[in-house]
Every structure is written in structure tokens, then in C-alpha cells.
Amino acid sequence: MKKLVTILIILSLLYIIIASIINRPSRIINYKVNNINITEHSYHNKNISAYAFSISVENNNFTFSIISSLKGKKKIIQSLTYDNDLDPCLNITLKNKETINVCLKNNIIYLNEHREQSTVETQERDNIIFYQNVPSHHKLITNSYKNLIFFDNSLNTLKIFNQDIYNFKIKAKVDKYLVVPDYNMNYTFNNFYKIDITTGKYEKIYMPYDIYFDAYIMGIVDNKIYLLDEYTKKQYCIDIKKKNVKQIGDIKNGFKYYNIDKWEQLDVHDLNRQTFKYRMNDKEYSFKIGDYEVKYIYEQSSFGYKVYRKDNEKLIYLFTTTDFESLIYLDDYIYYKNGAYIYLYNDLMGSRKLMYNAELNFNNTFLLEVYKK
């Protein structure tokens, strides 16, 4: 028994030491590559790392960051060259042999702006073209008008609707489950589909209420979905684990509202299609890796919205989207829409096409959700 206790104590100590190394708040290293001075700050959490660099060449200072899965590594720049033919640029090779291109224009950093996309195989289903660029540990679900399509470089179709669905606005993803109302019904519905994104299997969640299709999702808190029926002014909580739906708000008793990290009570005059507040404002999204704040901002342009990452006071241009509200952030990946295409962005690879659907030019209620296996 003593021996077992000793082994458990040793294993616990090892776990604490390893966790503290991986999740250490920050680390600063100065080193040289090709006689160029590099200051590297690294920040880590369980899934990803952030590396913030300051590199000065001639009179140009490159201050930028990359988000990657290079957890726990240091001195990650293996080689770099400086090019000043058009704009000041650094061509960098990392320890994992990935290459990135960093250019400075009008005091804005551009990552991998001119990287060419490699040719990949495509598949077609319901007039939608799918590109085999999905990371092996991700699985996507999207919709044609009648079918749900699961995509992880192979295609599977689920047909649960007997009519074309033109407005897919009520939808929510909780863990590996997609929850949608029964779109086979008209005007109102009294059950939800709970669909396992990993297997394509589904079950129904029935409720003793009739909810109008002009309802909307207010938000998700603790894996529970909060929905407001605008026509009846009634609020509901959908618990997919217990597979039940409860009415929790109305005009008389008020409505629950989640404001960043606390619950508040609203009356009917405060609703105005109010959704739960998780981020600072609609044009900004942020999260932390260790004690490093990763902040994305969206700037409207003539072609849509330019997406930047803000590193201290320096802007890093990443890509342009026609719908910033549909962005999906998952570790070091960002899924985004641009016109009729869905793209996947990553700092080390740039943007990659995932899907082409001509209907995306006309329909902003399309379905796209991603699950990390």
C-alpha cells in the first residue's frame, strides 16, 4: 500500500511539473539567425501557443505574432532572409519546416499574403464543391436545401427534411451536437433535432410548446441553449443532455440575459433581438493564451471586412471576409466566408479553400459548424 501511495505522489508531481512547463505564462528569448537579432515571446496553453516577435532589419521593425500548435518549443525560427525589392519582407523557416512570409506595408504586417494554394482533389454533392483541405482532426457540417452534409475529406449526407429549407437561422452547436428545429413543420415547431456531427446519427427532443420560426438563439451558456420566441415573447432553455425544453421567461416575469460573465434580468422593452454578450463588441473578438491576449478586429472595406490581429499597437492583416459574423475560431484555425467560398485560415499555411456553394451569394442563413475530434 505504501508503495502505491508513493507511486501516486510521484506521478502527481510529474503531472504538475509537466503542466507548469507547458502552461507557463510567458518566456522571453533573444537570439540571432543569419546575424539578425530576434526577440521571441512565447505563451502557451493546453492546445496552442502564441509567439510574438520583434525583428529589426535596417530601419524596419517587424513586430508580429503567430498562433500555432508548436507547444512548448523555443527559438522556433530556424532561418530567415530579408527582401526589400518591393516592400520590406522576411522569408522565415520554422523548426517544423513550415515557411511564412512577413511583409511590412504602411506600418501594417501582412502574413503569407501572396502564398499560392496547392492543387487538391475536389468532390461534389448537391451542386456544392468540396476541397480536401480539412484538417484531419476537424469535421464540418453544412447544408444544401434538403440535406445535411458532413465533410472531413469524405462526404456523407443526411436527409431529414422533406422540403427545401431556405432560412436556416435557428441553429446551435453544443459540443459535438448540432441542434435545429423540425423544419418539416410550418409556422411553428414543437421538437428539435439533436444531431451527432461525428456519426450523423440523430434523435428528437420533444417539448410541450409551440414555438414560432421567427424565434432566435440568444446564446449558449454551460452547454444549454437559450432561445427567444419574438412572436409570443417567451424565453426557453434547451438542455440537450437531459433532452428537455423549459420555458424560463415571459413578459410578466422578465427574461434571463447573460452579460459577459454574469446573469442579468431584462424586461420586454430591453429585448430588441438581444443576444448574450461574450465579447467586447461586434467588431472585435479576443481570448487569452496564457497571459497573452489574442485580439481580432474587423474593418469594413469596399470588398467586405478586413480581418486583423492586433499585436500591441501593430495590426497584422490576415484575410478579407464578406460576413464577419460567421467566423469560426478553433484553436489556431479560423473558418470564414468570402463570397460563395468557405475558407480555412491558419498563420502557417495562409488561406485554403474548403467549399464552393453559389447559394452563399444570396443566402446568409447557411449552416456551417465545425467539431474538433
Look at residue 271 in the predicted model and tell me its pLDDT: 87
Low-confidence ranges of the chain (pLDDT < 70): 1-26, 72, 114, 116, 278-283
Q: Give the DSSP letter of residue 116.
A: P
pTM attached to this predicted model? 0.86
Look at residue 22 in the predicted model and tell me its pLDDT: 46
How far, CA to CA in Å, does 352 sit from each of 98, 302, 348? 15, 22, 11
Q: What is the pLDDT of residues 40-54, one digit of tens each?
A: 999 988 888 999 999
Q: Is 80 helix (H, G, I), strand (E, B) or coil?
A: strand
Q: Give the DSSP letter of residue 152.
A: S
Q: What is the pLDDT of residues 98-120, one digit of tens each?
A: 899 999 999 999 998 867 677 78
CB-based contact 308:299 (threshold 8 Å): yes
Would you list the domain boundaries of the chain?
A: 25-109, 168-278
Look at residue 3 in the predicted model and tell me its pLDDT: 57
CATH of domain 168-278: 2.40.128
